[in-house]
Chain A
Amino acid sequence: MNEYLTVFTGIYLPYITLAVFGLAVIYNFFKWMFLPRPVMWAIFPAKKSLVNILFTIAQRIFSLPGPRKFDKLIFTLSWMFHIGLIVSLSLHAKYIFTSHLPYEYEVGTTAGMLAAIGSVGFIIRRYADKRADSHFADYFALILLIITLSLGQYIRMFKMVESTHLWTWVQGILTLNPILPPANILFLMHILFAQIYMMYLPFKTLIHPIAIFYGQKIILDSRHVKG
């Protein structure tokens, strides 16, 4: 059983995941791109040049002015969650290039904790929030992520897998010569949940980082369609 799980999650599933993830991201990005440019529907102060618009979008992505002004809790949780997640993912992506980075353990553990606190905060807030009705799908991504993060933290803290083995496993996938991943059951669960999460992301959660470009552009763009 363990062997089937190892082969499936470590050798076949990564390709399925990458294909689903990639195609779904592309679909979600382009489905809005081909809709007609709407009437000027800006919220002032808005911008008159594309460079200014793009610069302000980038600024807003990092500074989240709306949540910062109107809901400090979501602003704080968002920062913890997104920074934690991005750093954690970057530390995973390092296996494309190297097996080890300085201070990796400390940075990874802190990032994992931040992301976990952020996601638990999101869940509690969702549950307690009286302003919006969250449905199963809203919780599902967070629950998946918390499971994945907790397993990852546990594995990292107790150094349950060899980083050189991980590196060769990732290299194998990237060079289309896959090898078996570490056979630790917790690790296999970790990569299984991570991959389910990745396949689910573009259909739900990942829509919002794409939407932010389109949504912010509409409200920042004060150029008229017909001039």
Chain B
Amino acid sequence: MKVEQIHKVFDEYRGLSDNKLRPFEQKSERFLESFRGLLDKKNNWAFLLPLRLALEACTHCGTCAEACPTYIGSGRNKIYSPVYRADMLRKIYRRHFTLTGKIFKKLIGAEEITEQDVNAMAEAAYRCSICRRCVLACPFGLDNGLVMREIRKIFAELGIVPEELKEEGVDNQLKYGSAPKIPYEALMNILDFVKGEIEENRKNVNVEIPVDKVGAKYLIINNAGDYISFLDTIRGIVEIMNYVNVDWTLNSPRTGVFDNVNYGLFYSDKDMLRVIHAHLETIKKLKPEYVVVGECGHAYDVLGHLIKDLIPPEERPFKVIHIVELYDKFLKEGKLKLDKDKNIEPVTFHDSCKIGRCGGIYDEPRRVIAASCKDFREMYPNREYNYCCGGGGGFALMSKYNFLDFRMKTYGRLKMQQVKDTGASTLITICANCKRQVLDMISYYNLNINVSGLSEVLANALVY
């Protein structure tokens, strides 16, 4: 579809198809009904308090805007400021769900819902990657990113979710075991190819790739997109696991879900839980001691953190770690002999929001990089203050209409500058969605840099 044919509802971009958004349909009543459900303790206990705080306590000081990569990257366009976007919901909350709003109306910023508001909000919720950087700026710790996620939840109840996340994401994953629908035979061929490549590169090395092994110490579940788009990362993982010679396994569609992603995180607690249960079913069959989340950010947020609050301990008799934590552990145990001279080009590291700010993993990747690369350059800002690359919140998968332009002209622009400033020739990141976004950024802006996972960099430094 050409750009001119897009029905504009919020800005010049569209993330939702007309089929999904149905811009001419009356939706405001159902929107309010679904919103009411979110304000119910039983329905939404997990996120109600931060939602209510963000709806009720914002002073409109605007400080959060200065932390938001969409706002800054867009050249400080007001409609992309966190407070502006969250206010779209706040004014409706005040008017329809508070007594003072019903009495004082516009005087306190309460406004009647309109059909235009509903359409605009549906799109606005997909202009925020839920990176949560703005929370650091707000003196009260209010979370406008969470508000955007809650808006996405309201729309999910109305069936309004980007196809890339719902039909091509969660639904495919639950039906075929992975979002990209990789069949068993294809997966095995890919792994055979990986084995062959490593054995060819490392003479005298015999590579084993255990699949669906029951009772292994480590079950590594990758982002299935890596088997297609970032095979170097898979190769790196396989090589490292063979090198350290521990009891490990991958899994295949034969055991259920072999894709660690959970796109439900981006739009619906219900779908997030459906995927969590599918993961649990699979893990139950394989009985590992550790579930290792391959190079993926949001998967770690769900499996490493949210699952602990949403699922009782007896239903998850295993530990969850990110693969970078495993590498760091191997390093500490002296299981990895590395030669930095094998990675001499300057590298930088991108802290993925879901692994750093929301996951708490900052030092592990830095230790692994420091041990395996000669020239590591921090990008600024970094750690909890790092900018989202723009692949978060499901964006890395969304490119229909002109949405790629949005990703590139806001987040992409900012990240590109940040990377350029380091002078590094390779950007390392441990999240498949970040890799995808950076890859798009490289071709969009014709940049002379590479993007890489940490596994392949580490594997390259191994000394045999």
Which of B62-70, B114-122, B238-246 forms part of the interface with chain A? Answer: B62-70
CB distance from A200 to the nearest CB of B (A): 11
Does A156 belong to the interface (CB within 8 Å)?
no
Task: Classify the interface of chain B: helix, strand, loop or mixed.
Answer: helix
Would you list the 4 A-B pairs with minimal beta carbon distance, nearest first?
A: A215-B141, A211-B57, A44-B360, A135-B109
B312 proximity list for chain A (CB < 8 A): 226
Distance of A84 Cα from B143 Cα, bound (Å)? 29
Does A15 belong to the interface (CB within 8 Å)?
no
Whether the pair B46, A38 counts as a contact (CB closer than 8 A) is yes
Whether the pair A39, B310 counts as a contact (CB closer than 8 A) is yes
A1 proximity list for chain B (CB < 8 A): none
B52 proximity list for chain A (CB < 8 A): 32, 35
B108 proximity list for chain A (CB < 8 A): 135-137, 204
Whether the pair A35, B357 counts as a contact (CB closer than 8 A) is no
Does A67 belong to the interface (CB within 8 Å)?
yes
Encoded as 1 (CB less than 8 Å from any B CB) or 0, chain A from 200 to 227 comes to: 0001110110111011111110101111
Whether the pair B63, A43 counts as a contact (CB closer than 8 A) is no
Whether the pair B49, A37 counts as a contact (CB closer than 8 A) is yes
Which of A68-76, A89-97, A183-191 forms part of the interface with chain B? Answer: A68-76
Does B334 belong to the interface (CB within 8 Å)?
no
Which of A112-120, A126-134, A165-173 forms part of the interface with chain B? Answer: A126-134
Whether the pair A35, B308 counts as a contact (CB closer than 8 A) is no
Does B305 belong to the interface (CB within 8 Å)?
yes
Chain A: CB-nearest residue to B356 = A44
* Contact among A32, A71, A222 with B49 in the assembled complex (CB-CB below 8 Å): A32
Distance of A131 Cα from B76 Cα, bound (Å)? 8
Distance of A42 Cα from B354 Cα, bound (Å)? 11
How many A-B Cβ pairs are below 8 Å? 177
Subset of 22 A-B contacts with CB under 8 Å: A35-B49, A36-B41, A36-B49, A43-B357, A44-B357, A44-B360, A44-B362, A45-B384, A64-B139, A66-B67, A70-B136, A132-B60, A133-B60, A133-B84, A138-B59, A211-B53, A211-B56, A215-B57, A219-B143, A225-B308, A226-B308, A226-B313
Whether the pair A45, B360 counts as a contact (CB closer than 8 A) is yes
Does B202 belong to the interface (CB within 8 Å)?
no
Distance of A40 Cα from B307 Cα, bound (Å)? 10
Does B140 belong to the interface (CB within 8 Å)?
yes
CB distance from A55 to the nearest CB of B (A): 15
Whether the pair A216, B66 counts as a contact (CB closer than 8 A) is no
CB distance from A172 to the nearest CB of B (A): 34
- What would 7 more interface pairs be, CB under 8 Å, given A132-B84, A210-B57? A38-B48, A44-B362, A64-B139, A66-B67, A67-B63, A71-B62, A226-B313
CB distance from B431 to the nearest CB of A (A): 15
CB distance from A3 to the nearest CB of B (A): 33
Whether the pair B41, A137 counts as a contact (CB closer than 8 A) is no
Distance of A138 Cα from B59 Cα, bound (Å)? 7
Q: Known: A134-B60, A211-B56. Contact between A43 and B49, CB under 8 A?
A: no
Q: Which residues of B contact A (CB under 8 A)?
A: 41, 45-50, 52-53, 56-57, 59-67, 71, 76, 78, 81, 83-84, 87, 100, 104, 106-109, 132, 135-143, 146, 305-306, 308-313, 356-360, 362, 384-385
Distance of A66 Cα from B357 Cα, bound (Å)? 15
Encoded as 1 (CB less than 8 Å from any B CB) or 0, chain A from 16 to 48 comes to: 000000000000000010011111111111100
Chain B: CB-nearest residue to A204 = B108
B357 proximity list for chain A (CB < 8 A): 43-44
B360 proximity list for chain A (CB < 8 A): 42, 44-46, 222
* Contact among A67, A133, A211, A217 with B142 in the assembled complex (CB-CB below 8 Å): A211
Whether the pair A215, B107 counts as a contact (CB closer than 8 A) is no
CB distance from A207 to the nearest CB of B (A): 5
Distance of A132 Cα from B144 Cα, bound (Å)? 13
Q: Known: A133-B87, A208-B57, A211-B57. Contact between A43 and B384, CB under 8 A?
A: yes
Distance of A45 Cα from B363 Cα, bound (Å)? 11
Whether the pair A212, B140 counts as a contact (CB closer than 8 A) is yes
A134 proximity list for chain B (CB < 8 A): 60
* Contact among A66, A138, A224 with B308 in the assembled complex (CB-CB below 8 Å): A224
Q: Known: A35-B49, A207-B56. Contact between A132 and B83, CB under 8 A?
A: yes
B59 proximity list for chain A (CB < 8 A): 138, 205, 208
Whether the pair A44, B62 counts as a contact (CB closer than 8 A) is no
* Contact among A74, A131, A205, A227 with B71 in the assembled complex (CB-CB below 8 Å): A131
CB distance from B283 to the nearest CB of A (A): 17
* Contact among B60, B65, B135 with A126 in the assembled complex (CB-CB below 8 Å): B60
Distance of A203 Cα from B103 Cα, bound (Å)? 13
Distance of A78 Cα from B62 Cα, bound (Å)? 13
B78 proximity list for chain A (CB < 8 A): 130-131
Whether the pair A219, B309 counts as a contact (CB closer than 8 A) is no
B139 proximity list for chain A (CB < 8 A): 60, 64, 66-67, 78, 208, 212
Indicate the member of B108, B140, B313, B360 with the most A CB atoms within 10 Å. Answer: B140
Whether the pair B57, A135 counts as a contact (CB closer than 8 A) is no
* Contact among A36, A43, A65 with B132 in the assembled complex (CB-CB below 8 Å): A43
Whether the pair A207, B81 counts as a contact (CB closer than 8 A) is no
B309 proximity list for chain A (CB < 8 A): 39-40, 224-226
Distance of A29 Cα from B67 Cα, bound (Å)? 28
Q: Known: A131-B71, A136-B106. Contact between A214 and B132, CB under 8 A?
A: no
Whether the pair B109, A39 counts as a contact (CB closer than 8 A) is no
* Contact among A46, A71, A204 with B137 in the assembled complex (CB-CB below 8 Å): A71
A129 proximity list for chain B (CB < 8 A): 62
Distance of A126 Cα from B62 Cα, bound (Å)? 9
CB distance from A73 to the nearest CB of B (A): 10
B100 proximity list for chain A (CB < 8 A): 203
Whether the pair A131, B84 counts as a contact (CB closer than 8 A) is yes
B61 proximity list for chain A (CB < 8 A): 67, 71, 74, 132
Chain A: CB-nearest residue to B60 = A132
* Contact among B47, B57, B106 with A38 in the assembled complex (CB-CB below 8 Å): B47
B81 proximity list for chain A (CB < 8 A): 131-132
CB distance from A152 to the nearest CB of B (A): 23
Distance of A132 Cα from B285 Cα, bound (Å)? 52
Whether the pair B45, A71 counts as a contact (CB closer than 8 A) is no
